[in-house]
C-alpha cells in the first residue's frame, strides 16, 4: 500500500496540478534564479495575497541581484517594510552580496552551496534548486509537512527531530524520477497543501471535491485528518506596555533607528521607552513614563530606561494621545503615544535619532502600526509611504 503510494505519488500529484493547481502567480513562470529566490524568501511565513502586491514592486525596485547588492541596506528595509520578519530583508541583502562576490552574481544550483547563503535554509534551497535548476531536491515547508503527516499517518509533533528526519526522508523518496518535472512537481506540492489539503478545511472533509489520495491517506482512512499533524500547545502571548514619543517640528518628525536584533530590527520608528510587562492593576501606573513641562517652557519626557528628551523650547502642552494595541504572533503591545510639537528642533548628536521630513517618510522603513498611526493622524498620506 505504502510502496504503491510512494511510486505513483509524483505522477498523480502532477496530474492533479494540471487540473486544479494555482495558475498565473507571477513567480511561477519565472526561470531567473534571482526572481525565484526573491519570491521564495518573500513567501516565507507570508501569504500569497500579500506577496502578490509586494513582489512586483520589489522586482521593479531591485531588478537584478547586482542592483540589490549595491543598494544601501536601508533602502532594502524600506522596500520590505510591512512584510514582517525583517531579518529576511537583511539576509536578502547580505545574500545578494555573497552571490555577487563569491559566484559572480549567479546563484549556484547545488543545494549544499545554496544552504550556505544567508537566509537560505534546507527547504528554500530545495525550492530554488527545483524551480530554477530542475534539481531533484525536496522541499519541506508547512504544506509538505501537513500533506506527508496525513498521507503516512505520522504521529508525533513536527518539532521532534526524529519526525522531521522522517519527513525529509519521505519528501526525498517521493520526488519524480524525471528531473524535468521538478518545477511543476514542487509547485503542485505547495498548491495542493495550500488549497486542498489545508489545515482547517481539507477538501476530503467538505465532500465537494474528491481528493486523489483519499484511498491512500492514512489520516483519512483512520479519520485523523484534522488532528494530523499533531499541534504543539503554545503559551499565551505575553503583554507589554511602552511609551512612544511623536515629536514634531514643523513638517519634520523625530525618528529613531531600531537595533538589528530587536523586533522591527533595522526599521525607523518613534523614540520609545523600554517595554514593561503589562500590569493589569493600577499599581503598575507608577511605572509609567513621566512627561511634563518644566520651568521656562522646557519639555521633558523621562522614559523608564532613563533616556530623557529635554531642552525643547516652546512645546505645545503635552497631549497624551491615543493608545495603540498591536498584536504580534508572540506578543501583545500597548503603545502610549505622546504627541508633542516644538518650534525648536533639538540638536541631534547620536546617530540613531534623526529629524525626517514628512514628505520623505516613504524612503524610511516604518513598522506597520507606526505607519498606520501617522496616516490616521493625517501627518502623511498613504501614497507618501508607498514611495
Partner DNA sequence: AAGGCGGGGAG
Partner DNA sequence: CTCCCAGCCTT
Residues that bind DNA in the complex, under the rule CB under 7 A: 22, 25, 27-28, 39-40, 43-50, 81-87, 91, 118-125, 127, 141-143, 146, 159-162, 187, 190-191, 193-194, 199-201, 231, 234, 236, 261-265, 325-332, 367-369
**Nearest alpha-carbon partner for 188 in 58, 15, 34:** 15
User: What does DSSP assign to residue 316?
Assistant: P
**Nine cell digits for residue 207:** 465532500
- Residue (280 or 296) nearer to DNA, CB: 280
- Residue (189 or 315) nearer to DNA, CB: 189
- Residue (79 or 299) nearer to DNA, CB: 79
- Residue (139 or 312) nearer to DNA, CB: 139
**Least separation in angstroms between CB 322 and DNA:** 16
**Nearest alpha-carbon partner for 309 in 271, 339, 258:** 271
4, with CB counted inside 10 A (0-12, 13-18, 19+), is exposed
Lookup result for grid cell 528628551: 309
How do strand 332-341 and strand 319-327 relate by DSSP bridges? antiparallel
**Least separation in angstroms between CB 118 and DNA:** 5
Which residues, other chains included, contact 191 with Cβ-Cβ below 8 Å and sequence gap of 6+? 17, 20, 21, 22
**Least separation in angstroms between CB 160 and DNA:** 5
Q: Which residues are catalytic?
A: 40
**Least separation in angstroms between CB 193 and DNA:** 5
CA angle 125, 196, 182 (to 5 degrees): 35
Distance in angstroms (rounded) separating the CA atoms of residues 137 and 139: 7
**Nine cell digits for residue 87:** 531579518
**Nearest alpha-carbon partner for 247 in 337, 359, 380:** 337
**Nearest alpha-carbon partner for 225 in 311, 173, 312, 149:** 149
- Residue (192 or 299) nearer to DNA, CB: 192
**Least separation in angstroms between CB 234 and DNA:** 6
Amino acid at each position: 500500500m505504502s510502496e504503491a503510494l510512494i511510486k505513483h505519488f509524483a505522477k498523480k500529484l502532477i496530474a492533479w496540478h494540471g487540473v486544479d493547481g494555482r495558475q498565473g502567480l507571477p513567480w511561477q513562470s519565472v526561470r531567473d534564479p534571482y526572481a525565484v529566490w526573491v519570491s521564495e524568501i518573500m513567501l516565507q511565513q507570508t501569504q500569497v495575497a500579500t506577496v502578490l502586491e509586494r513582489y512586483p514592486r520589489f522586482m521593479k525596485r531591485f531588478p537584478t541581484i547586482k542592483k540589490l547588492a549595491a543598494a544601501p541596506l536601508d533602502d532594502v528595509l524600506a522596500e520590505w517594510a510591512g512584510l514582517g520578519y525583517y531579518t529576511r530583508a537583511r539576509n536578502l541583502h547580505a545574500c545578494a552580496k555573497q552571490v555577487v562576490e563569491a559566484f559572480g552574481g549567479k546563484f549556484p544550483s547545488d543545494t549544499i552551496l545554496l544552504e550556505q547563503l544567508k537566509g537560505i535554509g534546507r527547504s528554500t534551497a530545495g525550492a530554488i534548486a527545483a524551480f530554477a535548476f530542475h534539481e531533484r531536491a525536496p522541499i519541506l515547508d508547512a504544506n509538505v509537512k501537513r500533506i506527508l503527516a496525513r498521507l503516512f499517518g505520522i504521529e508525533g509533533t513536527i518539532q521532534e527531530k526524529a519526525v522531521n528526519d522522517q519527513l525529509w526522508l519521505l519528501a526525498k523518496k517521493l520526488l519524480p524520477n524525471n528531473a524535468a518535472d521538478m518545477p511543476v512537481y514542487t509547485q503542485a506540492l505547495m498548491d495542493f497543501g495550500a488549497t486542498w489539503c489545508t489545515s482547517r478545511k481539507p477538501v476530503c472533509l467538505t465532500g465537494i471535491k474528491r481528493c486523489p489520495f483519499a484511498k491512500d491517506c492514512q489520516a483519512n482512512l483512520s479519520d485523523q485528518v484534522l488532528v494530523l499533524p499533531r499541534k504543539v500547545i503554545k503559551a499565551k502571548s505575553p503583554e507589554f506596555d511602552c511609551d512612544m514619543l511623536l515629536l514634531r517640528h514643523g513638517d519634520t518628525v523625530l525618528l529613531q533607528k531600531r537595533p538589528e536584533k530587536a523586533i522591527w530590527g533595522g526599521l525607523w520608528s518613534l523614540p520609545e521607552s523600554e517595554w514593561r510587562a503589562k500590569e493589569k492593576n493600577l499599581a503598575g501606573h507608577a511605572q509609567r513614563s513621566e512627561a511634563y513641562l518644566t520651568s521656562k517652557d522646557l519639555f521633558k519626557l523621562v522614559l523608564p530606561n532613563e533616556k530623557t528628551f529635554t531642552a525643547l523650547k516652546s512645546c505645545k502642552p503635552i497631549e497624551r494621545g491615543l493608545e495603540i494595541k498591536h498584536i504580534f504572533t508572540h506578543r501583545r503591545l500597548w503603545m502610549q503615544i505622546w504627541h508633542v510639537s516644538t518650534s525648536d528642533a533639538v540638536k541631534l548628536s547620536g546617530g540613531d535619532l534623526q529629524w525626517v521630513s514628512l514628505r520623505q517618510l516613504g524612503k524610511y522603513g516604518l513598522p506597520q502600526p507606526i505607519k498606520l498611526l501617522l496616516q490616521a493622524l493625517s501627518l502623511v498620506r498613504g501614497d507618501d509611504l508607498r514611495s
